[in-house]
Structure 1
Amino acid sequence: MSPKAEAQLADFLEQLSSQKRASAHTVSNYRRDLNQLRGYCQHKNLQDWHELQNHDLRSHIALRHRNGLSSKSLQRELSATRSFYNYLLKNGLVTLNPAQHVKAPKQARKLPNTLDVDQINGLLDAATDSVLEIRDLCMFELFYSSGLRLSELAGLDLTELDIRDQSLRVVNGKGGKSRILPIGKKAIAALEKWLPYRQTVAQPDEPAVFVSKQGKRLGQRSIQLRLDLWCKKKGIPEHIHPHMLRHSFASHLLESSQDLRAVQELLGHSNIGTTQIYTHLDFNHLAAVYDKAHPRAKKKSL
C-alpha cells in the first residue's frame, strides 16, 4: 500500500493507545487484525484505504472463514476494521465505512464450564500449610466471592480494598470501566489472614494485594499456575482455571437470586446478552432436577 495509507494505519494505532487509552493487549489485537486487512489490500493491488469496497471486505472475511478462522475471531477483525474506518471517516480520509453492514458467520454459543457448590467447597475448604498457600487461597476466595476476571485480580491494589465496608473497587475493568463489588465473609477472613503476611514480603513501593516471594505483583500466568498446583496437591481431578471460578460465581448467584440485571452489574458486562448465557446454565440445572424428580418425566427402563 502507499506510504500515506501506511501512515494512516500507524496514526490510528497510536491514537488508540494514547487518546483512547486502550490496553496493550487491545492495541496488539487491532494491529494484527488490520495487518491482515492490509495484506488483503496489497494482494488486490489496492493502494489506499478508500479503494476498499464492501464486496472486497466480504471476500476477505469469506476467505478467512474458509481458512478456518472462528466466528469470534472474524467478529473481532470486523470490529477492528469498523473502528479504523470510523477514524478515517472522522478525519475526512474516506467517504464510507465498508465494514458497516458486514457480519461474521454465526457460531454456536458455547456454555462456560462451572463447578457445583460441593466442588467449590472442596476447592476452598482445603487446609493451607504455607504462607504461599494462604495467599493462594485468598486469591481463589476472591475470585469466587466477587466474580473477578483474572486481569482484575492480578491488578488489584491495596487502595482498592475496603475491609471495613467489605467491598473492593475494580478501577480498570474490561473496556476501562470501574465497578464496586462486595466481598463475602469467607473472602474477608482469607484477606485478614493474608494481609499481615503480605506486609513482611512485599517491597515498600509495591501497591499490589497479591505479591510473589520476591515482593512484586503476581502476574496472571503465575496465578493460573498456582491454581493448577493447588488442585493437584489437594487431589482435585478437574482441570480448573481462574475463569471457572468467575463462571461459577455468576451461575450460583443467578440460580439463587434470579436477578439477571444484578449479576450483569457484578460481572461488569456492558451487554446483558453476555450475561444471559448463564440463564442457559440455570435452565440445564432445573431441567436435570425436573428429569430426576417429576414422576411423569422419568424414563422407564426396558
Structure 2
Amino acid sequence: MEEKFIYHTIKTFSDYLQAEKIFSESTTVLYTTILERFFKYCCEHQFELFLPDNWHWNDIRVRDLEAFLISNKDVKSKNHDTCVTYLSGIRSFYKYLQEKGIVEMNPYQHFVLSRHHHEMILIEDPEGAIREHFNKIKTDEFLGARNRLLLELVFGHGLTAKQIASMSNIQINQNYNILIDFQDNQNIEYPASREFCELLNNYLKFLEALMDKNEFLNFWIDDRGNPMKPMTISRQVNKTLKIIGLGEMNFRLIREWSSQKFAEAGADIRSIQNMRKVKGIRRLKSLYKNDFLDLQRRFNGNHCRNK
C-alpha cells in the first residue's frame, strides 16, 4: 500500500472525528500521530511482519501491533496506560474502516493488552554494581533491615510481591538453605548465601522484639505497623531503589534480573515461564539475542501468517 494513500485515509479519519465531535481535538491529534507511527512501522518492516507485497488494511493483525509496541522505543519505555492509548487509537480507526465497508472486521475490537506478560529485558548491569547500591541501606534498624531483605528476595530469588506478602515465616536450614512458609500451608526451600542468612537473622531479631509488644504481628509490616499487601511491597521496593540511586530500576526489572541469571544458568524455557508466571511461550523472549533471532526466523519460516 502506498504511503500517500495511508496518510490520506488517516486524514479522512481525522476529519471525520472532528466533524462528528467523537473525541476532543487533542485526542484526535493524538490518534492521528499514533496511526501515522504504526503504519509507518508496518511499511518499513513489511518483510519481518510477513505482509504481502501489496498489503491492505485487512492484512494488518494483532501480532503486528504487538510487534510495534515491543520495538518502538517511544512506547516500550512507557507504562501500560500509554500502550492502551495506542490500542484505542488503532481500534477506533479500524472501527471507522469497518463502518465505511473498507474492511470486513475490526481485528482489535476485543483485543486487550496484558499487564503482566512482558518481554524479558536484558539487564546489562553486573551483579556487583547493583549490590554496591544495596549496601547503602543501613540494616542496624528495623525498616532498613526489612527493605534490604525485600530487595534480596526479589533480586536474588525472583519472588513476586504476592508471594512475599503471603509469607508467614522463614527458617534457615543446613548448608544455608532457607525454608519459606506461606499462608496457604505451602513450604518451599530455596538456596541462600551466608550474607542473606545474616540479613534474615538480623530482621528476625527486630521482628521478634516487635512481636513481644504485639502478639498478632504479621511477618511483613509497613512503617505504621500495618500488614504489607502485595502493592505495598512493590511500592516500597521501588521507593528503596530510588533512594539508593537505582531509580531507573523497579520491582519488575530486578525480578527480570533473576530470570536472566536463571536462564544463563541453563534453566529450560518452561521453568523460566513458571518463574515469570507466563503461560504463553510466544511472549517469552530468550535473553540470548542470537539464539532468539534464529528461533524466530525458523518459527516464522514454518508458520507463516494465516490469510
TM-score by length of 1: 0.49
